[in-house]
Structure 1
Amino acid sequence: MTSSNSRVQATGHELAVTGLLSRRSFTISRATALLGLSLLALTTAWSGATSWYILRKDDLAARLISRETSRQYAYEDRIAALRADVDRLASRALLDQDGVEARVGEIAMRQAELESRQSLVNAVAESLQSAGIGVSQAAKNPLRQRMIKPEEPVRASGVTSFAPFASGKPTPAPETLPLRGAGERSAPWQSGEIEEPVPPAKRVAEALIQLDQSIERSSATQLAALREIDKTLGDTQKTLRSALAETRLDTDKLAVATPAPKGVGGPLVPVNLDASAGPFEATLSSLQPRIATVFRLRSLVEQLPIRRPLAGELELSSNYGYRADPFTRGAALHTGMDLRAEHGAPIRATGPGKVVTAEYSGGYGNMVEIEHAGGITTRYAHMSAILVSEGQAVAAGTLIGRVGSTGRSTGPHLHYETRIDGDPADPNRFLRAGDKLAGQL
C-alpha cells in the first residue's frame, strides 16, 4: 500500500512538473523568437556570404588559371615564333653562305682564266721583245691585282665559308657576341652622329663586287694590251715592207728561214683559240698570222747587208754608177761607193754571212768579200789591214778590217759595193733600208 501511494505521489509530482515546464516553454519561445530569427538571419547571411565568397573565390581562381594559361600559351607561341625566326635566319645564313661560295667559286674561275690569258699575253710580248719589237709595259708585266686566295675565309651573316679548294678546317663563328657599343667606348670622342656599322653580309657583297670590278678592269687591260700589240705589229710590218721595198728584192724568192733560238725545245702543244669565244680570243687569233708575217720579214731584214760599214755619218766621195775615172779621166762604171774616212778607221760587216775572200785582189787592194743570204755579197776594198779569214762566219757589226789606200786608190777611203748573184747593185738601196730601220735592229 505504501509503495502504491509512493508511485501515485511520484506520478502527480511529474505531472506538476510537466505542466510547469509547458508553461515556461511557451514563455521562452516567444522571448527568444526574435533572437532565434536573428540568429537564423545571421546564419543565413553568413552561409550566403560564405557561399558567395567560396563561389567568388572559385571564379577568381578560374580567372587566374585562365589568365596564366593564356600567358603560357602566348609564351609558348612566342617561343615557337622565335624558333621559327631562328630557323629562318639560319636558313637565310646558309643560303647567303651558299650564294657567297658560289660567287667566290665563279670569281676564282674567272681569276684562273685571267691568269691563263695573261700567260698568253706575256708569251706574245716576250716573243716580240726577244725579236726586238717594242711592246708596252702593261703587256710585259703580269697582273698585280689582288685576287681571292684559296685559304681566305669569306664571312656572310656571321657564317664562315671558304673559297674552293680551301685547305684546313673552317673556324666557327665566335660564341660570345660583342656587346653593343663595347667597341665604341674605346674610341676617342667625336662630335656628330655615330656611323652605323656595316652588316657583314653587305661588306662581303661589296668585297665581291670590288673583286668582280678588278677582274673586269684586268680583262680590259689585257685586251687593250693585245690591241696595242696588234697596232705595233701593224706599224712594224709597214716599216719592214717599206725597208725591203728600198732593196728592190723579191721577198718571196728570198724566203729565209727564221733561225730558232738556241737552248730551247720540247713537244709541240699547239694552243687552239676559238675566235668566237670573245674579243680577247678574236684579237689573239688575228695576231697569229700578223706575228708570223712580221717575224718572216724581220728575219729577211736581219739577213741582209743593210747596216753601215763605218761608224758615224758617212762622207761620200764617189757614188755608185757612171763617173769619170780618177786615173784615166774617162767614163767608167763605178760598181760601188767610196766613203772617205781616216786611215785605220774600223770597218764592220754590214750583215751576217760567211767570208769568201780575204786577200789582196788587184785594183781592190786588200779586200774582204762576204756572202750573205739570197745570193747577195758585199765587198770591202782598199783596206790597210784584214782582220778576218776566209771561211769565217761573221755577224752584223763584226770588225773585219781597217780603212787604207791599197790597190787602185788615190787616198784613204773605203770602197764598198753590193752584188746580187754576182752582178753589182747600188749599195744605197740597202743603206736606205737600214736607215728606215734605225733603232730597230
Structure 2
Amino acid sequence: MTGVLSRRNFTISRSTALFGLSLLALTTAWSGATSWYILRKDDLAARLISRETSRQYAYEDRIAVLRADVDRLASRALLDQDGVEARVGEIATRQAELESRQSLVNAVAESLQSAGIGVSQAAKNPLRQRMIKPEEPIRASGVTSFAPFASGKPTPAPETLPLRGADDRPAPWQSGEAEEPVPPAKRVAGALIQLDQSIERSSAAQLAALRDIDQTLGETQKTLRGALAETRLDTDKLAAANSVTKGVGGPLVPLNIDPAAGPFEATLSSLQPRIAAVFGLRGLVERLPLNRPLDGELELSSNYGYRADPFTRGAALHTGMDLRAEHGAPVRATGPGKVVTAEYSGGYGNMVEIEHANGLTTRYAHMSAILVSLGQTVTSGTLIGRVGSTGRSTGPHLHYETRLDGDPIDPNRFLRAGNKLAGRV
C-alpha cells in the first residue's frame, strides 16, 4: 500500500516537472522572440529614419541647386535684356540717322525735279522705313520687346506653357516628332538682325541714289555745255551776269557736311558744286531764245548770210532766216523776255521784237497779225502773231532774226542748241 502510494506520487511529480520545463521553455522562447522582434523593429525604424533623412538632405541639396540655376538664369535674362535694350537703342539711332539722310536725298531730288532735271525712281521715291517709336514694341514671331525709354526696362513677353494632349501630337501630314519651338530670346535676336540688315540695305540704296544723281548731273552738265557751245557765246560771262528773278529767299542756314564722315557724306559733299554748276547752266538755258518760232518741222527758204536779193538780184546780207509757212500759221516767242517793238516797221512789215537776257533780242517779221503789245512780258512758246507777207516780202513766210547787243548773229546756232536740248534736260 505504501509502495503504491509512493510510486503515484513520483509519477505526478515527474509530469509536473515536465510541464514546468515545457512551460519554462515556452516562456523562454517567447521572451527571446519578443526580444528579437523588438530589437529587429528598432533597427528597421532606424534604417527607415536614416533613409528618409538622407532623402531629405538630397531634396534640400537639389532645391539649392535649382535655386542657384534660377538665380543664374535670372541674371542671364537680365543681361540678355540689357543687351537687347542696347541693340534696340542702337537701331533706333541708326534709323533716325537714316531718316535724316533720306530727307537730304529727297531735297536734292526734288530740287532737281523742280528744275526739270530728270532723276531715277530710286532718288524720286523716299525710302519708307518703319521707324521704332517710343510707344511701339518690336514684334517678331510672337515675341515683344520694348525699346529702351524712360518708361521702364524692356520686358519680354511671358511664355505660355503648352498643354499636353491632342494639340501636342504631330499633324497627320507630318512625319516624326513636331519641331521644337524657337526660344523667345533667339526670335528677338533674329528680329533685330533683320532690322539691322534692312537698315544696311536702305543705307546702301541711299548711297546708290546719290551716285545715280551724281551721274545724272554729270550727263546733264555735259549736255548743257554742248548745247551752249552751239551758240558760240561766252557762257561763263553770261552765267556770271545771270541773276535770279524768281521769288526766293529766307535766312541762311548753312548745311555742314563732313566728307570724312563716310561715303554718303563724301558723295553728298561732292554733289554741291556740280549742282550749283548745273543750276547755273540750266538757268542760262532757260533765259536764251532756243525754241522754234513755228510749230512742227521748220522749212528753210533762205538762210542767214550773204545771198542774192530777191528783188534786186544783187549781193546782200540777209540778217536772219526765212521760214516757209502757210498764211496765218501761229508764230511763237523762242524764249522769255519783254516785247520792245510791236508795229509795222518798213521792210519788216508787221514786226515784233523781244528783248531777252544778256543783250539778246529776237525779231519776227512779215506777219499778217500782231497779237502782243509793247511792254508785254512773254514766255517761251507765247503766241505773238501769225505768218503773213507784209513789208518787203515775196510770199507768206516768217523772217526770224537773232541779235546780240544790236548786231545780227546766225539764229541757226540757237536752233541747233535747242534741238540738242529737246527732250534731254
Give the alignment's TM-score, normalised by structure 1.
0.85
| Per-residue deviation, residues 156-204 of structure 1 (Å, max 9, x unmatched) | 999853124487998884586331456456x963242333322222222
Structure 1 position 192 matched with structure 2 position 192: no
- Alpha-carbon distance, 1:387 to partner: 1.1
Q: Choose the corresponding residue for 2:191, options 207, 231, 236.
A: 207
The residue type equivalent to 2:98 in the other structure is: L
> How do residues 5-404 of structure 1 correspond to structure 2 at under 5 angstroms?
46-154=30-138, 161-165=145-149, 173=157, 177-180=161-164, 183-184=167-168, 189-193=172-176, 194-254=178-238, 255-257=240-242, 259=244, 261-262=246-247, 265-404=249-388
Tell me how large the CA RMSD over aligned residues is. 3.0
Q: Secondary structure at the match of 1:270?
A: coil
Q: Distance in 2 between matches of 1:110 and 1:331?
A: 76
Give the alignment's TM-score, normalised by structure 2.
0.88
Per the alignment, residue 420 of structure 1 pairs with: 404
Q: Secondary structure at the match of 1:419?
A: strand
Gaps of 5+ in 1: 1-26
Q: Distance in 2 between matches of 1:429 and 1:366?
A: 25
194-203 or 418-427, larger mean C-alpha shift? 194-203
- Alpha-carbon distance, 1:48 to partner: 4.7
| Per-residue deviation, residues 68-94 of structure 1 (Å, max 9, x unmatched) | 111111111111222222222222222
- Alpha-carbon distance, 1:96 to partner: 2.2
- Alpha-carbon distance, 1:286 to partner: 0.7
CA contact (8 A) 1:96 1:156 kept: no
Mark the CA change 1:210 to 1:180 in structure 2 (over 3 Å): closer, same or farther: farther
CA contact (8 A) 1:147 1:211 kept: no
Q: What is the percentage of aligned positions where both structures have the same residue? A: 88
| Per-residue deviation, residues 193-231 of structure 1 (Å, max 9, x unmatched) | 333322222222222222111111111111111111110
Per the alignment, residue 15 of structure 1 pairs with: none
Q: Distance in 1 between matches of 2:152 and 2:129?
A: 25
| Per-residue deviation, residues 115-171 of structure 1 (Å, max 9, x unmatched) | 111111111110000000001112111223444444333479998531244879988
Mark the CA change 1:381 to 1:166 in structure 2 (over 3 Å): closer, same or farther: farther
161-170 or 238-247, larger mean C-alpha shift? 161-170
Q: Secondary structure at the match of 2:423?
A: coil
250-259 or 304-313, larger mean C-alpha shift? 250-259
The residue type equivalent to 1:383 in the other structure is: M
Q: Distance in 2 between matches of 1:170 and 1:99?
A: 10
56-65 or 214-223, larger mean C-alpha shift? 56-65
CA contact (8 A) 2:146 2:155 kept: no
CA contact (8 A) 1:100 1:156 kept: no
Q: Secondary structure at the match of 2:55?
A: helix
Mark the CA change 1:332 to 1:270 in structure 2 (over 3 Å): closer, same or farther: same
The residue type equivalent to 1:425 in the other structure is: I
- Alpha-carbon distance, 1:113 to partner: 1.1
Q: Distance in 2 between matches of 1:71 and 1:170?
A: 42
CA contact (8 A) 2:145 2:156 kept: no
CA contact (8 A) 1:132 1:440 kept: no
Gaps of 5+ in 2: 1-10
Higher Rg: 1
